[in-house]
Amino acid sequence: MALYGHPGTSALGVLGAQDLPSSIARAKKLAASYAPLSDVPVVPTFEIIATTASSEPGDDGDYSSESTVTSLQPWVEQASAAGMYVVLDLQPGRADFLDQARRYTDLLRLPGVGLALDAEWHLEPGQRPLAQIGGVDAADINAVTAWLAELTATAHLPQKLLVLHQFQLSMIRNEQNLDTRHPEIQLLIHMDGNGSPALKNATWRAVTATAPAGMPLGWKNFYREDTPMLDPAQTMAHHPAPLMISYQ
């Protein structure tokens, strides 16, 4: 169960709507609300936007603002010390997912830190954020998976979570070619569309129908954009039951 957002700002999600200790407490409280509904332990989690899609190209021209390792380190370390998991979310703009992931090698060498690829914000040359929905080919995801698997194995780390955000089928091209063979990595496709329950359920059905067989799935609840937002029991009633639930 994850709080999604960027430290220090509520505009990008609830994770940044309060200070670090309060965010830890909020994540734990939300996780506790799901515990009676789950057959497995519910792990409170931060999903931190590490690179943020930007309307401006920036000095490097990639339309993505990259947080420093130093700025994220307190959130990662204190969450880990509190028994939480951390996922670093990448919104790369025109940059390459693998290049951005490598920026956070020092954090990904820690045992309780995974990665998320936000294909909505992965742009082709000439594209800009918010002008269209981005997408990524399975081959580019596989390159990240292979790199992260090698890092995990070399550092003798527990298996890492690699989240793939998706609310349109075009966001993951050639989806059936996703490489799920690395035991060091658990891929999960996360449905993060917003709107009415009917609209979100339609998106859920589309995403689950095209996911590779046996792929774990996730669901996102939006405090402001969902009309209305589902409660924990309604969220867990989906089939198959989501294994990662995030709040934005």
pLDDT 10s digits, 200-228 = 999 999 999 999 999 999 999 999 999 99
Q: Helix crossing, 20-34 with 69-81: angle to 10°?
A: 50
The CATH-assigned architecture of domain 2-247 is: Alpha-Beta Barrel (3.20)
pLDDT 10s digits, 93-132 = 999 999 999 999 999 999 999 999 999 999 988 888 788 8
Tokens of 167: 């609310």
Residue 235: C-alpha distances to residues 42, 87, 208, 225 (Å): 14, 21, 15, 16
pLDDT 10s digits, 35-52 = 999 999 999 999 999 999
By the 8 A CB rule, do 32 and 24 touch? no
Mean pLDDT in residue range 17-28: 98
By the 8 A CB rule, do 101 and 73 touch? no
- Full-model pTM: 0.97
